[in-house]
């Protein structure tokens, strides 16, 4: 069973690494220089080779494809974050951080092989056309996407498109197929997943990424929580792979006194540039807890490092990813571009938290290696370079060379990963159960906008019995004797979170239910 847990975690953690790398992907396109002089310095040798291939190769070749491949190989010799993206990938990467995109304005889940509308953005194209929560999307632009295991990203691409363009969609609603023609429009993409009060004085904000709208969204959320009595903020940056630096700087500024250092950047061809707080932040007197994990990277680490080095708050969780390199975009007229590393960033104490990358394969597998070496479950297993020591404003030791080490370590909980739980995760039994509950109680769930009322309603549904029956009937999964007792306390909040997401409370319901089993949040409440 332990081997299966490791395999599952390996797949999940590798996905985190890939996500960080892709978030900075870009493209560069070179045209062969038709000069030949024997000087192979700079790019002349590459140009010469491409010229000779084009002039003399035995078969017809795609010079653009070959040139792109040469650029990819060249950039691979630099660092993991200096990368090339073709036009399609570049456009997608920029859209992810723009704060909006052109589309139809829905959120959906794919619990099995069919996309189910989870939320219809108010005022968006889909709401205007008549789509509602719970609709099952069968066909997009004449292409069947239900029951054929269509990748979720492919579904998204089919629905996205330029504002003003039309997309034809067929949905199933209560067993009836209904066609729609939707005019695409600008859709806001929120980066604040949830913001609410856990108790009378403790607020919780979860930030998924640093987009162009991050500061505006965060300011609106924090102002609302302050008005409602917030004295302590738990700021959740777990899983946040970064984004725009300026947004991270603005958030740091909200918490720090005038003159407090936030970060500085420096490179071989870039002189040192320092960034300090201006003292006008609205949250300088709020107690702060920052949550990080192994997938918190880049701008998330700038924020966590600034708070830690200024002794402004408590950092809780597990060691962050370790990306301390700064990329500058260079775009080209063919729609491609590069993201070239031009500097390193340094936290106020002077440390660079970039982890080593000389071993390319090792860099990609670093998070898995952390798990294998026990770092995810034991703080003593964190590999610290004691020669790379720095000091916070209050004289506490902190270390460079590989991510932000939290002040309070919270191990990954593997004790509740029973065979039943693992098998349910593999089959997405919980998600499919939540979808079935929405179908069964749609009218009631869709009308609930108060969390207390939602909690009481779900308590009355006997979700445990319904889930066990569902797992047995649909997936032939039955917990072994004693397994459910061990798993129930963990799975029930998860089930309530997934079902509650189908209410009007959306993501707020999900996180409010889930936080009761979140050990990091629980420790933040008392540290």
Residue with tokens 């089930």: 495
Radius of gyration of the chain (CA): 25
CA distances to 266, 353, 355, 404, 417 from 400, in Å: 16, 5, 8, 8, 33
Determine the Cα–Cα distance for residues 293 and 301; give it in Å rounded to an integer.
10
Residue with tokens 């067993």: 175
Two tokens, residue 125: 């194209």
Cα–Cα nearest to 66, from 81, 49, 82, 89? 49
Determine the Cα–Cα distance for residues 181 and 165; give it in Å rounded to an integer.
10
Two tokens, residue 224: 């609302």
Two tokens, residue 259: 């003159």
Cα–Cα nearest to 106, from 174, 158, 143, 145? 158
Cα–Cα nearest to 79, from 27, 21, 29? 21
CA distances to 72, 106, 359, 425 from 76, in Å: 6, 37, 12, 36
Two tokens, residue 498: 């997934």
Catalytic residues: 298, 309, 323
CA distances to 28, 51, 54, 197 from 68, in Å: 7, 14, 14, 50
| DSSP string of 484-500, one letter each residue | HHHHHHHHHHHHHHHHH
Cross-strand bridge partners of residue 172: 136, 177
Determine the Cα–Cα distance for residues 343 and 358; give it in Å rounded to an integer.
17
Determine the Cα–Cα distance for residues 501 and 173; give it in Å rounded to an integer.
19
Two tokens, residue 347: 């936290």
Determine the Cα–Cα distance for residues 209 and 213; give it in Å rounded to an integer.
10
Cα–Cα nearest to 16, from 323, 269, 271? 323
């Amino acid at each position: 069973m332990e081997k299966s847990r490791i395999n599952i975690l390996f797949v999940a953690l590798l996905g985190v690494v890939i996500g960080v790398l892709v978030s900075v992907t870009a493209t560069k396109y070179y045209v062969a220089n038709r000069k030949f002089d024997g000087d192979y310095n700079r790019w002349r040798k590459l140009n010469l080779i491409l010229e000779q291939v084009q002039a003399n190769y035995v078969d017809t070749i795609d010079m653009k494809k070959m040139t792109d491949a040469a650029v990819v190989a060249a950039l691979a010799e630099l660092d993991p974050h200096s990368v090339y993206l073709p036009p399609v990938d570049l456009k997608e990467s920029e859209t992810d951080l723009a704060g909006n995109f052109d589309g139809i304005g829905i959120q959906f889940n794919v619990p099995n092989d069919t996309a189910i509308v989870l939320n219809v953005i108010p005022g968006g194209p889909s709401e205007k056309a008549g789509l509602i929560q719970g609709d099952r999307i069968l066909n997009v632009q004449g292409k069947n996407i239900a029951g054929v295991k269509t990748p979720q990203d492919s579904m998204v691409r089919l629905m996205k498109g330029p504002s003003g363009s039309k997309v034809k969609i067929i949905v199933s609603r209560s067993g009836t197929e209904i066609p729609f023609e939707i005019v695409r429009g600008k859709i806001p993409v929120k980066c604040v997943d949830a913001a609410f009060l856990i108790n009378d004085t403790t607020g919780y904000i979860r930030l998924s990424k640093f987009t162009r709208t991050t500061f505006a969204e965060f300011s609106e959320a924090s102002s609302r929580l302050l008005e409602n009595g917030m004295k302590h903020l738990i700021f959740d940056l777990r899983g946040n792979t970064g984004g725009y630096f300026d947004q991270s700087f603005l958030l740091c500024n909200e918490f720090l006194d005038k003159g407090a250092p936030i970060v500085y950047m420096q490179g071989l061809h870039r002189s040192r540039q320092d960034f300090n707080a201006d003292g006008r932040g609205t949250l300088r007197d709020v107690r702060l807890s920052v949550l990080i994990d192994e997938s918190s990277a880049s701008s998330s680490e700038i924020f966590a490092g600034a708070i830690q080095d200024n002794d402004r708050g408590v950092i809780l969780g597990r060691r962050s990813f370790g990306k301390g390199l700064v990329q500058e975009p260079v775009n080209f007229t063919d729609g491609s571009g590069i993201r070239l590393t031009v500097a390193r960033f340094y936290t106020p104490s002077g440390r660079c938290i970039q982890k080593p990358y000389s071993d390319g394969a090792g860099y990609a597998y670093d998070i898995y290696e952390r798990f294998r070496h026990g770092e995810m479950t034991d703080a003593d297993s964190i590999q610290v370079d004691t020669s790379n020591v720095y000091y916070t404003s209050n004289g506490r030791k902190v270390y460079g060379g590989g991510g932000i080490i939290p002040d309070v370590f919270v191990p990954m909980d593997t004790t509740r990963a029973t065979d039943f739980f693992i098998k349910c995760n593999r089959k997405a039994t919980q998600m499919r159960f939540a979808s079935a509950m929405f179908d069964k109680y749609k009218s009631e769930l869709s009308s609930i906008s108060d969390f207390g009322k939602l909690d009481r309603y779900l308590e009355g549904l006997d979700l445990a019995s319904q889930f066990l029956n569902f797992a047995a009937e649909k997936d032939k999964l039955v917990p072994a004797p004693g397994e459910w007792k061990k798993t129930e306390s963990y799975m029930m909040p998860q089930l309530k979170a997934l079902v509650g997401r189908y209410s009007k409370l959306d993501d707020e319901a999900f996180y409010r239910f889930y936080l009761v089993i979140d050990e990091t949040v629980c420790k933040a409440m008392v540290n």
